[in-house]
Amino acid sequence: MREYLKFYIDGQWVDPVEAKTSNVINPATEEVSGRISMASLADVEKAVAAARKAFAGWSQTTREQRLELLLAIQAEYAKRQNEIGEAITEEMGAPNALGCGFHIGLGGGHIATAIEALKTFPFEELRGQTMIRREPIGVCAMITPWNWPMNQVAVKVLPALATGCTMVLKPPQLAPYSAQIFAEVLDKAGVPKGVFNMLQGSGAVVGAALSAHPQVDLVSITGSEAVGVEIARAAAPTVKRVCQELGGKSAFIVLDDADMAKNVAGATGGMMINSGQTCSAGSRLLVPKKRMAEAIAAAKEAAAAVTVGDPKGNFAMGPVVSKNQFNEVQRYIEIGIKEGAELIAGGPGRPDGIGKGYFCKPTVFANVDNKMVIAREEVFGPVLVIIGYDDIDDAIAIANDSDFGLAGYVNGIDGEQCNAVAKRMRTGWISINGGFDFNAPFGGMKRSGNGREWGEFGFHEYVEIKAMLGYAPAPQA
């Protein structure tokens, strides 16, 4: 049983102002795995005050001082990363190989990327007699989700530290353990007092208070569209910057070539990673109509190969994060059936032989119309829809016919054709034939949000631009 009952404020682990706790449920067992304290408005005030006080000094540190800190964080993270991975498995049900693999690998990758970006980031740029300065924006509130908990903490905290900002982090109530360990990593690495603060608690209390707080200069939120809208509303009266990475219903276009069946199989298996709880998941698989039967056979076989079970065992897919999430996935599966989509794999209920835990079946619908609910709304579970297209123009039209624009995928033998298709897709991040890059900016268009994270592009969210006209350059020696 884990108990995380203190908050990290002003460089210390402190008791909450009010003694209120919440149980954390293990989604694989439906049993209580631990308790966390729930922050109050008084705790928010303490954390923001600490961050504001620390900003005066931290914002004036040198690039070299901040690099030294990031390198210390990297070293401490390496010591604790497997422990963080085990916590992710327990808190949100990621299979152990995934939790101690890609989950912690993302955190480590973002630390390394931030270190390299900091070495060359242009904080000052002289253009004639005008000095362009990029200065830290101030106190940042960070609200992170439960589905990729370490990834989303790292892509917010590291750029903020690197650019000289101070911050208050609110991790997800459903998956709080890994962030608690990460806070211990930062403390051990020597983050100065007040630069990093962390409060556990509910979005309705902590998230809302941070968003509206007049001493918070930026809010960075990763979550649902509905939550993003409410945070933007709360932040509007104080005219603070709001960076949002929200929902997605990303199109995965498979080109009509000899590798189509292989690419369909890969897309199907990829959709089930992390139990489909990925905002950038390729949940709309677009295939040539004339080859729909071939695509169905490949997808059906790939879905059947996805093993589901105890995340501590040797299974490819664990549970979804909570009872509410399980019920939402089941609701969407029932909607798909009622809409007349062809169910070719999975379906309602738990997989055979599993009587407990929030486990869903890897589910695939074929011959889906892009106007169906299951093609329009984000299910956030292991549910893939296959949509047929007539030609490339039709595929692009279908892909772009969405309220969302977070991610996209194009797979095919002809690289030039893949590039041409990707250029026409209205989405912020596109993987061509499995491309991946820690330095590539990640973020969305349309209702998927605004702003960018990852690599150097993530730094720009945390700086203000100052122009100093008539700047006198340093005299020549």
How far does CA 312 lie from the centroid of its chain? 23
| Helix, strand, coil content of the chain in percent (nearest 5) | 45, 20, 35
Amino acid at 170: K
Domains, the chain, in order of start with CATH, read 2-246+448-469 (3.40.605.10), 251-432 (3.40.309.10)
Instruction: State the pLDDT at residue 474.
Output: 72
In whole angstroms, give the CA distance from residue 395 to residue 475: 60
Q: Which two tokens stand for residue 430?
A: 């596109």
Q: What is the pLDDT of residues 373-388, one digit of tens each?
A: 999 999 999 999 999 9
Instruction: State the pLDDT at residue 473.
Output: 78
User: Using an 8 Å Cβ cutoff, are 330 and 359 in contact?
Assistant: no
Instruction: State the pLDDT at residue 475.
Output: 74
Could you tell me which residues are beta bridge partners of residue 198? 8, 169
Amino acid at 461: E
Local structure of 253: helix, strand or coil: strand
- Ranges of residues in the chain with a pLDDT under 50 are none
Catalytic residue flag (residue 243): no
Instruction: State the pLDDT at residue 477.
Output: 65
Distances 83 to 78, 101, 106, 171, 249 between C-alpha atoms, Å: 10, 12, 15, 17, 32
Instruction: State the pLDDT at residue 432.
Output: 98
- H or E, element range at 141: strand 139-143
Q: Which of 245, 378, 453, 456 is catalytic?
A: 245
Using alpha carbons only, what angle is made at residue 11 by residues 6 and 17, rounded to the nearest 5 degrees?
A: 35
User: Using an 8 Å Cβ cutoff, are 412 and 259 in contact?
Assistant: yes
Instruction: State the pLDDT at residue 247.
Output: 94
Catalytic residue flag (residue 245): yes
Q: What is the pLDDT of residues 146-181, one digit of tens each?
A: 999 999 999 999 999 999 999 999 999 999 999 999
* CA-wise closest residue to 388 among 259, 473, 288: 288
Instruction: State the pLDDT at residue 174.
Output: 97
Q: Which of 100, 243, 279, 418 is catalytic?
A: 279
Q: Which two tokens stand for residue 371?
A: 């106007």
Instruction: State the pLDDT at residue 349.
Output: 98
In whole angstroms, give the CA distance from residue 209 to residue 199: 12
